[in-house]
A = this chain, B = another copy of it.
């Protein structure tokens, strides 16, 4: 059903966020020929590479190099050929005016129908909350003619979808959109396996996919859904009929 002309922009705060939370959905868009663009803001070297730092004499450069090759592998698993790593510092990630302009430019270049990124609240992860605001504001600025950036033309307001945070309830997450990923779950599994240093997350997000599959079946009465991913949305659904 996914239209080949769909432009999907994914903005991931750290190296692996896009895999844990949306790997199946991204793979599905890629598989069906949509234009997927992935921006990874940081290697997550400071905040999300705990196991790598257990190695004696570990350095920031080395952690980044490892994360870089893991990202490369994982994007292959998911069928993403178009990605960029912006190498911001994480934990804390500072998102200033220059970085805002960079993302506005990217949105105007990609002209995404959907932007997939972090949601507004995320217990235990302050970077994710900053990135939510960064992406939200950039999406609004990208539509405004008065925000003049040479070489760009304004975009239409994209739909914004938010990743499920690690601990959903205490992050006030509501699953507003549940996407069936049965056909790409194996790709997600493979992509998760690229991040060898985080075995507990590999298991955790496989469980989550099963759980959301259960919810998908229960809410829809459609028993073909085995695995799913859940997302929040920033704006109401607007369209021609009930979905």
**Using a CB–CB distance below 8 Å, which chain A residues touch chain B?**
1-2, 8, 28-29, 45-50, 52-54, 60, 63, 91-92, 94, 97, 100, 113-114, 116, 123-126, 133, 136-137, 140-141, 143-148, 156-157, 159, 161, 166-170, 173-180, 200, 203-204, 207-208, 210-211, 214-216, 218-222, 225, 228, 230-231, 234-243
**New A-B contacts (4) at CB < 8 Å, excluding given A126-B137, A204-B211, A215-B236:** A47-B141, A169-B169, A203-B210, A239-B243
Partner of A45, one of B136, B146, B230, B240: B146
Residue pair B219, A238 in contact (C-beta under 8 Å): yes
Residue pair B211, A236 in contact (C-beta under 8 Å): no
Residue pair B144, A91 in contact (C-beta under 8 Å): yes
Residue pair B221, A143 in contact (C-beta under 8 Å): yes
Shortest beta-carbon distance, A60 to chain B, in Å?
8
Q: Chain B contacts of A157 at CB under 8 A?
A: 124, 218-221
Residue pair A243, B243 in contact (C-beta under 8 Å): yes
Residue pair A166, B218 in contact (C-beta under 8 Å): yes
The 9 nearest A-B residue pairs measured at CB: A156-B221, A53-B145, A46-B146, A220-B238, A219-B235, A178-B238, A157-B221, A126-B137, A207-B207
Q: Determine which residue in A168, A220, A238, A241 has the highest number of CB atoms from chain B within 10 A of its CB, and name it.
A: A238
Q: Determine which residue in A54, A116, A168, A215 has the highest number of CB atoms from chain B within 10 A of its CB, and name it.
A: A215
Q: Determine which residue in A136, A137, A173, A208 has the highest number of CB atoms from chain B within 10 A of its CB, and name it.
A: A137
Copies in the assembly, this chain = 6
Q: Chain B contacts of A238 at CB under 8 A?
A: 178, 180, 215-216, 219-220, 222, 225, 228
Residue pair B242, A146 in contact (C-beta under 8 Å): no
Shortest beta-carbon distance, A163 to chain B, in Å?
13
Shortest beta-carbon distance, A169 to chain B, in Å?
5
Q: Determine which residue in A123, A124, A228 has the highest number of CB atoms from chain B within 10 A of its CB, and name it.
A: A124
Are A47 and B147 also in contact (CB < 8 A) when A126-B140, A218-B166 are? yes
Partner of A218, one of B126, B146, B167, B225: B167
Partner of A240, one of B46, B146, B179: B179
